[in-house]
Amino acid sequence: MPSLLPLVETTRGDTLENVHFGHVAVTDTTGRVLASAGDPQRVSFTRSTLKPLQALPFVQGGGVQHFGLTPANLAMLCASHNGEPMHVEQVDNILAKAGVGYKRLQCGCHVPYFAELGAYPPPAPGSYDERHHNCSGKHSGFLAHCVQHGLPLETYVAPAHPLQQAIRRDVAAAVGLEEGQLAMGIDGCSAPNYAMPLASLARGFARLASGKADAQFGDSFDALANAMTAHPELVSGTGRNDVALMQAGRGDWVSKVGAEGVQVVASRGRGEALAIKIADGNKLALFAATVEALDQIGWMDDAQREALRPWRNETIASIKGAPVGRRKAVFRL
């Protein structure tokens, strides 16, 4: 793919070992590309970065008020969480308010992400369930929307379901595309997901970050951005990248990572957002590229650079901890 640009390189000893290609787009709320690397119009699946926009029909439809959801509840609708007790507690709370049991969740079940934090012994099968799935917050919101509007619960992830049709409509509107321009695929949690130009995804997040200034979704965007920045630990969890970025952003940055090397960070004060896609999906390269891009566009001060230095993942170490290589961002916006 000629437009693919090297974003991050790794060396072992003095020899180049890996090159991670990708794209970066920085836009404002109108979709104007302010800076880029590679092809800012490259169509990519959004994966879990889409979650705040997938919550729009619920929030726009008065679901927050109808069920008395708290900002912590609302943050969970946007989460790719660790399955820690604080996350399961919020999912239980949302489901209780909606009057449905957790077995209604159609996200499936996987080993909770908190196991990656070094939990020992690892959680045994049967000790975790659908509530521990990283997408259970989003699915709880889906179920609550269906309860509120009298829609079928059994088929809520089907692309033809009225909820998913409403999500497609609102996502398209938020990113400035027609519904027919959204390429659909099924995400790992069984819900529809959409591919779009990277600049369009950035535009949607710039609008999200602009909050009440947005003419179409202002109140909803304000509530979602407030919830995410107030509760970043719920949006991701202990030791995760999104919580580190939002804490470093001091309430200004709205961050959401997705599977297979996609991440968006928006600035509430600037009404701008950057979206990054690493072509091979490498997480360490993604995090390194995100911090470098934030630095290049001038969003970081010295304290933020220091706080986010670990996410550059500059040193490649052996199992014993000895430095054996380097990881370096090599692009310029």
On whether the CB atoms of residues 228 and 211 are closer than 8 A, the answer is: no
Domains of the chain: 5-329 (3.40.710)
> What pLDDT does residue 119 have?
64
pLDDT, position 114: 87
Kindly list the averaged pLDDT for each block of 10 residues, start to end, along the chain of length 333: 85 96 98 97 98 98 98 98 96 98 96 80 85 98 98 98 98 98 97 98 98 97 98 96 97 98 98 98 98 98 98 96 96 97
The DSSP-derived string for 141-188 is: HHHHHHHHHT--STTTTSTTSHHHHHHHHHHHHHHT--GGGPEEEE-T
**d(Cα 146, Cα 98) in Å, to the nearest integer?**
9
pTM of the model: 0.96
Amino acid symbol at 126? G
Containing 56, the helix (H) or strand (E) segment is helix 56-60
Beta bridge partners of 36: 25
Q: What pLDDT, on a 0 to 100 scale, did the predictor assign at position 126?
A: 85
Query: What is the number of residues in the chain?
Result: 333
Residue 13, sorted as left (phi over 0), alpha (psi -120 to 50) or beta, turns out to be left
The pLDDT of residue 3 is: 75
Predicted pLDDT at 322: 96
Q: Which pLDDT score, from 0 to 100, does residue 117 have?
A: 76
Q: What is the pLDDT of residue 2?
A: 57
Contact by Cβ (8 Å): 289, 331 = yes
Contact 48, 228 (CB under 8 A): no
